Homo-oligomer: A and B are copies of this chain.
Amino acid sequence: MDNLLHKEYKNRVLKLQQSIIKTEADSCIITSSVNIYYLFGQVFDGYLYVLPEGDPIKFVRRPSDIDSENVIYIHKPELIAEHLGDLNIPLPKKVMIESDVLSYSSLMRLSAAVGNPSIENVSGEMRRIRSVKSEYELYVMRECAKIHASVYNKIPEIYRKGMTDIEFQIELEYLMRKSGSVGIFKTFGPNMDIFMGSILAGENAQAASPFDFALGGKGVSPLLPLGANGTKLKSGTTLMVDMAGNYRPLMDDMTRTFAIEYAPDLAYKAHEVSIMINQAIMETSKTGTSCADIYLLAEKIVSEHGLEKYFMGTTQQAKFVGHGVGLEINEPPVLAPRSRDVLLSGMTIAVEPKFVLPGIGAVGVENTYIVHDDGLEKITICDESLIVL
The contact string, 1 if C-beta is below 8 Å from chain B, for chain A 202-213, is 000001111110
Q: Which are the 10 A-B pairs with shortest beta-carbon distances?
A: A63-B208, A183-B195, A104-B107, A99-B104, A45-B210, A184-B195, A170-B177, A99-B105, A182-B221, A174-B174
Question: Once the chains are docked, how many angstroms separate the CA of A62 from the CA of B174?
Answer: 31
Whether A182 pairs with B99 at a CB distance below 8 angstroms is no
Q: Is residue A186 contacting chain B, with contact meaning CB distance below 8 A?
A: yes
CB neighbours of A190 from chain B (8 A): 31-33, 102-103, 106
Whether A34 touches B223, Cβ cut-off 8 Å, given contacts A102-B103, A195-B184, A216-B63, is yes
Answer whether residue A121 sits at the interface, using C-beta atoms and an 8 A cutoff. Answer: yes
A225 at the interface (CB under 8 A from B): yes
Known contacts A190-B103, A209-B62; is-contact A182 B43 (Cβ 8 Å): no
B316 touches A223 (CB 8 A): no
Counted per complex, copies of this chain come to: 2
| Residue numbers in B under 8 Å from A99 (CB-CB) | 103-105, 108
Is A196 positioned at the interface, with any CB of B under 8 Å from its CB?
Answer: yes
A44 contact set on B, CB distance < 8 A: 210
- Among residues 215 to 230 in chain A, which have CB atoms less than 8 Å away from a CB atom of chain B? 216, 220-225
Least CB separation from A101: chain B residue = B103
Tell me the bound Cα distance from A316 to B210 in angstroms.
39
* CB within 8 Å for A209 and B63 given contacts A45-B191, A104-B102: yes
Interface size on A, residues (CB 8 A): 61
A173 — which chain B residues lie within 8 A by C-beta?
173-174, 177, 183
CA distance in complex: A97, B190 (Å)? 15
A346 an interface residue at 8 Å Cβ cutoff? no
Decide: B222 and A249 in contact? CB cutoff 8 A: yes
The residue of chain B having its C-beta at the shortest distance from the C-beta of A219 within the complex is B182
Chain B proximity of A123: nearest CB distance (Å):
7
Residue A156 at the chain B interface, CB threshold 8 Å: no
| Extra A-B contacts (17), CB below 8 Å, given A63-B209, A106-B190 | A33-B190, A33-B191, A33-B210, A37-B223, A43-B193, A45-B210, A61-B210, A62-B208, A62-B210, A64-B315, A64-B316, A65-B315, A100-B103, A102-B190, A104-B108, A173-B174, A182-B195
Say if the beta carbon of A42 comes within 8 Å of chain B. yes
A227 to chain B, nearest CB (A): 10
Quick check: is A178 within 8 A (CB to CB) of the other chain? yes
Instruction: Give the secondary structure class of A's interface.
Output: loop
Closest Cβ–Cβ distance, residue A209 to chain B (whole Å):
6
With A105-B99, A182-B220, A208-B65 known as contacts, the answer to whether A193 contacts B33 (CB < 8 A) is yes
Proximity bits, A119-161, B CB within 8 Å = 1, else 0: 1010100000000000000000000000000000000000000
Pick 17 A–B contacts, CB within 8 A, sort by A.
A32-B190, A37-B222, A43-B193, A44-B210, A45-B211, A63-B316, A100-B103, A100-B106, A104-B104, A104-B119, A170-B178, A173-B173, A174-B177, A183-B195, A184-B193, A221-B249, A223-B327
Question: Least Cβ distance of A272 to chain B in Å?
Answer: 29
Min Cβ gap A112→B in Å is 13
> Which one of B105, B106, B249, B315 lies within 8 Å of A223 (CB-CB)?
B249
Instruction: Determine how close the nearest CB of chain B comes to the CB of A255; give it in whole angstroms.
Output: 19
Let me know if A210 and B315 touch, CB within 8 A. Answer: no
**Within residues 1 to 51 of chain A, which ones have a CB less than 8 A from any CB in chain B?**
31-34, 37, 41-45
Measured CA separation A207–B62 after assembly (Å): 11
| CB neighbours of A194 from chain B (8 A) | 184
Residues of B within 8 A of A195 (CB): 182-184
B-chain residues with CB within 8 Å of residue A107 when the two chains form the complex: 104
Question: Which residues in B have their C-beta under 8 angstroms from that of A327?
Answer: 223
Tell me the minimal C-beta distance from A42 to chain B in angstroms. Answer: 5
